[in-house]
Amino acid sequence: MDLVKVIEAFPTQEGCIAYLEHLRWAEIPECLYCVSTHVRRYNEGKTGRK
Question: What string of DSSP letters covers 1-50?
Answer: --HHHHHHH-SSHHHHHHHHHHHHHTTS---TTT--S---PPP-TTTT--
Q: How would residue 24 be classed by pLDDT, with cut points 50, 70 and 90?
A: confident
Query: Whole domain around residue 4: which residue ranges?
Result: 1-50
What pLDDT was estimated at residue 46?
61
pLDDT at 12 over 70: yes
Pairwise pLDDT comparison (43 vs 38), residue with the higher score: 38
pLDDT of residue 33: 86
For the chain, what is the domain count?
A: 1
36-43: average pLDDT: 76
Overall average pLDDT of the 18-32 stretch? 86
